[in-house]
Amino acid sequence: MLMRWKELPVVSGTIVAVNIVIYTLCIFTGSRLYEMGNINVIDVLANGEYGRVVWSMFLHSGVPHIVNNMLILFFMGAMIEKEAGHICYALLYFLSGIGGNLVSLYAKAVNNDMSASIGASGAVFGLAGVLLALVLFSGRKMETVTPNRVLAMILILLYDGFSGENFDNAAHVGGLTVGFLGGCVVCIIQRGKYSTQQ
């Protein structure tokens, strides 16, 4: 029973469910939750509303936005959660999202950009970075996942962001970088544990 629990993507499923519930609430509350949770230079850096860096990860602008993010999050997250474990996966997800949002805020401040951003895209890109680190450095083969496939997926995701409009590409690149570095740390820790067990 314990082994069965470890293999289930409970964290990924919970994050997806929470996002869907919050999006449903947004439909009925209009712009209120968006105004309370988006990240922008004035509210976060000037007014010190730092919670927005986390809350914005649960807000989405429309059905295509949330569907795309949640599909990628669940299926890619399920693979990572199985490899890294529930707690480690949760930490990597939120660190990637927060890191992506901080990079976004830095880019907005430098460019005097007063626009607001929402969405889990930074965290989703972070998962892609984690997956790349795992397939490169974990020392274990992951079924149907290869470095070339992960790199191709990342390039497609980046291309979609930079070729489209109203995408927070700073959050994407920031999340990807934080996720990759976090994945590298996980690989180092796991290899260290494996070495001591031999």
Is 31 known to be catalytic? no
Number of separate helices (H) and strands (E) present in the chain: 10, 0
Q: Residue type for 22, please?
A: I
- Closest among 73, 163, 82 to 121, alpha carbons compared: 73
DSSP state of 47: T
Distance from C-alpha of 26 to C-alpha of 59, rounded to nearest angstrom: 8
Catalytic residue of the set 12, 96, 121, 138: 121
* Sequence-distant (≥ 6) Cβ neighbours of residue 92 within 8 angstroms: 80, 84, 126, 127, 130, 179, 182, 183, 186
Let me know: does 95 contact 126? Beta carbons within 8 Å.
yes
Is 104 known to be catalytic? no
Distance from C-alpha of 40 to C-alpha of 117, rounded to nearest angstrom: 7
Catalytic residue of the set 56, 117, 138, 172: 172
Indicate which residues carry an active-site annotation: 121, 172
